[in-house]
């Protein structure tokens, strides 16, 4: 099995690329879905978040108020580090279970969508890292226009993530997304061909653990 990580900074287009990879045959693990699962109402993780950040981060229905929590950690490195220390170990454990299940099921290409791969994980834990990237100005415009962030909030979000220049150097495949959706799909198709070729070589190698 080829264990692939797909990452990219905010509004780079990684979720669109992952959607196509799924349509083209990949099994996908979405980091955001894992986070939501471990933060489900009454879970130990949600209780720990409430103890650290206060009861106001919990909605009346018992679910996490993500907007409230985001406001408390954005721009505060200590608060963000505390949140990551609570959430990410549980996410890693859940991911490990799903990876093991995929391997047992005979999955050939497992794609992990991980926005903060370089910030909170070790990219060397994966067989292949795919980075979806776009210029800062382009991503800022998307955050304001499509996600309806205030410009200063978009600035803070972009500033909270590691610059993509560093990530490009440590990624085996880079998909640039500064143009049209059609151009992005063509580049994603090229990347998918490289992934499936790599998966074939991995599976054909005697003793390979994938």
Question: 144-185, pLDDT tens digit by residue?
Answer: 999 999 999 899 889 889 999 999 999 999 999 999 999 999
Mean predicted lDDT score pLDDT of the chain: 93
Per-residue pLDDT at 75 = 79
The count of domains in the chain is 1
Q: Which of 128-132, 154-158, 165-169, 201-205 has the lowest mean pLDDT?
A: 201-205
Per-residue pLDDT at 125 = 95
Report if residue 209 sits inside a domain. no
Report if residue 134 sits inside a domain. yes
Report if residue 74 sits inside a domain. yes
Report if residue 56 sits inside a domain. yes
C-alpha 88/C-alpha 72 separation (Å) is 18
State the pTM of this model: 0.89
Say if residue 126's pLDDT is above 50. yes
30-35: Cβ within 8 A, 24+ apart: 30/113, 31/91, 31/95, 31/112, 31/113, 31/114, 31/115, 31/116, 32/113, 32/115, 34/91, 34/94, 34/95, 34/98, 35/87, 35/91
Give residue 136's domain range: 2-203
Report if residue 44 sits inside a domain. yes
Per-residue pLDDT at 201 = 82
* Three-state DSSP state, 85: helix
Report the CATH number at residue 111: 3.40.50.300
180/202: higher pLDDT:
180
Per-residue pLDDT at 160 = 85
> Looking at residues 174-201, what average pLDDT do you find?
96
């Amino acid at each position: 099995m080829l264990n692939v990580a797909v990452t990219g900074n905010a509004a780079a287009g990684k979720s669109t690329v992952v959607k196509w990879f799924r349509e083209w045959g990949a099994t996908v693990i979405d980091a955001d879905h894992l986070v939501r699962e471990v933060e489900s109402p009454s879970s130990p993780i949600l209780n720990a978040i409430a103890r650290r950040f206060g009861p106001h981060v919990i909605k009346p229905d018992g679910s996490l108020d993500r907007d409230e929590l985001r406001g408390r950690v954005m721009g505060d490195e200590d608060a963000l580090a505390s949140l990551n220390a609570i959430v990410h170990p549980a996410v890693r454990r859940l991911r490990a279970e799903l990876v093991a299940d995929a391997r047992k099921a005979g999955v050939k290409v497992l794609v992990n969508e991980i926005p903060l791969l370089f910030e909170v994980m070790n990219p060397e834990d994966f067989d292949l890292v795919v980075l979806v990237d776009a210029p800062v100005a382009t991503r800022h415009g998307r955050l304001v226009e499509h996600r309806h962030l205030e410009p200063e909030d978009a600035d803070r979000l972009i500033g909270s993530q590691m610059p993509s220049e560093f990530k490009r150097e440590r990624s085996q495949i880079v998909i640039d997304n500064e143009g049209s959706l059609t151009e992005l799909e063509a580049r994603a198709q090229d990347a998918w061909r490289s992934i499936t070729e790599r998966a074939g070589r991995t599976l054909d190698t005697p003793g390979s653990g994938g």
